[in-house]
Structure 1
Amino acid sequence: MRLGHEQELDAPLDAVWTHFMDLRRIGRCFPGAKVTQVHGDDFVGEIRAKLGPLSLYFDGTGSMTERDEDAAQARLAATGQERHGLGKATIDITLQLHPLGDGNRTRARLATDLVFLGLPMDVGSGLVQRASDPLIERFLSCMSVPGRGHDEAGDADDGGLDLLRSATDLFGSLRRDRRERKRR
């Protein structure tokens, strides 16, 4: 499944680029993720996702496979295995940064290829795109602020990635969209 996200960030391109080159920071900023080891461009980590009362844990490895500072483009690839099940996931993310206006703002574009195998749900890419939007917005906002990320700012997300809450937020937004279309 292919997902796309774009957001304007209140930080200069150089600062955002530096934050994205810090693999540990990426782990601190993504909800439910933790990078446990870094060796050059390679990393080991985990993601905790909640689905109602059920918690899913994925252990994985990944690499920063491309870093082109002149083009402000990077690529990250990772694979993960569900700790207590048969689920598997692969992800390939391409980041493209563009300076805006006077250089104090940056547009970040993420193109994500995501494959889930064996998870207890099968949803369409449109639903996944809309459910992922608020998560990626939080992630990109964290990547644009000075400091070390959520743990330094006291905004740690120790509950993991809450898939049920994301789905609830998604279905709420779908209902609002439907009501708005009826009013027109």
Structure 2
Amino acid sequence: MELRHEFTVPVPVDDAWQALLDIERVAPCLPGASVEDYDGKTVTGSVRVKVGPVTLTYKGTAVFDERDEQEHRMVLSASGRETRGQGTARATVTGTLTERDDGTAVTVLTDLSVTGRPAQFGRGLLSEVGDRLVSRFAECLAEKLTKPEEPAPAAAVAEETAPLDLTRTAALPVARRVGPPLAAALLVLVAWRWRRRRR
């Protein structure tokens, strides 16, 4: 499936470009992600995902296929496999940075393929979950870029490496979809009971 996201960070394009290439610095902004090694081109690490009561760990690599500093465009190919299961995740992520008056606009195109339990969410819900995660990432990145960098305390590190809870993250989109029809059904039920009492 293809997903498209956009966000803006309040810094010049060159600063945003360098920050996004600083994997160790931005990794804490990605829920559930941890970096084990980075040699300047290939990232080795893991992502922990929680689906209901089950926590899944994907281990894999991500490789920069393209880094065009003049065009501020990068292409990252990532793949991972469950450490205790058959599920897999593959993604090709293309990021493009464009300078704006108020900072830098970042456009992210993701070609995603997921097998296993997270695939049960379906395209629509995964897209909405992606929107929320990208929004959270953008806020975290903007904060890192506009504040002096400080060592993270032990408690903060533990929170950053907590698994990404897909069920909780998906709760709001689900409520938004189910809420209006449910409210309408309740209104019909109340009106029907009120009419019965009147009779």
TM-score range, shorter chain: 0.7 to 0.9
Cα displacement (A) at 1:123? 3.3
What is the alpha-carbon distance in structure 1 between the residues aligned to residue 26 and residue 70 of structure 2?
Answer: 21
- Cα drift, residue 14 of structure 1: 1.6
Q: What RMSD over aligned residues (CA atoms) do the two structures have, in Å?
A: 2.6
Alignment of 1:5-44 (within 5 A): 5-44=5-44
Bigger fraction of residues in strand: 1
Equivalent in the alignment of 2:188: none
1:173 equivalent to 2:171? Answer no
1:137 counterpart = 2:135: yes
Q: 1:148 deviation in Å?
A: 5.5
Per the TM alignment, residue 127 of structure 1 is displaced from its structure 2 partner at its CA by: 1.6
Q: Hey, which of these two has a bigger chunk of helix by percent? A: 2
- In structure 1, stretches of 5+ residues that fail to align are 180-184
1:58-73 pair list within 5 angstroms: 58-73=58-73
1:160 is matched with 163
Q: Deviations over 1:59-105 (max 9, x none)?
A: 0111111111111111111110101101111111000111111xx41
How far 1:7 sits from its partner (Å)?
Answer: 1.2
Q: Matched residues in 2 for 1:95 and 1:6: separation?
A: 10
Aligned partners of 1:162, 1:69: CA distance in 2, in Å?
34
Number of residue equivalences: 179
Instruction: Quote the Cα distance in structure 2 between the aligned partners of 1:63 and 1:33.
Output: 16
Partner residue in 1 for 2:126? 128
In structure 2, the partner of 1:99 is 99
Structure 2, unmatched stretches of 5+, are: 183-199
Distance 1:148-1:54 versus aligned 2 partners, 3 A rule: farther
In the aligned structure 1, how far is the partner of 2:67 from the partner of 2:86? 32
- Relative to structure 1, the CA distance from residue 151 to residue 2 in structure 2 (aligned partners, 3 Å threshold; closer, same or farther) is farther
Identity of aligned residues (%): 31
SS at 1:35 equivalent: strand
State the Cα distance separating 1:43 from its structure 2 match: 1.2
Query: Which structure has the larger Rg over C-alpha atoms?
Result: 2
* Conservation of the 8 A alpha-carbon contact between 2:34 and 2:161: no
Distance 1:112 1:53 in 2: 27
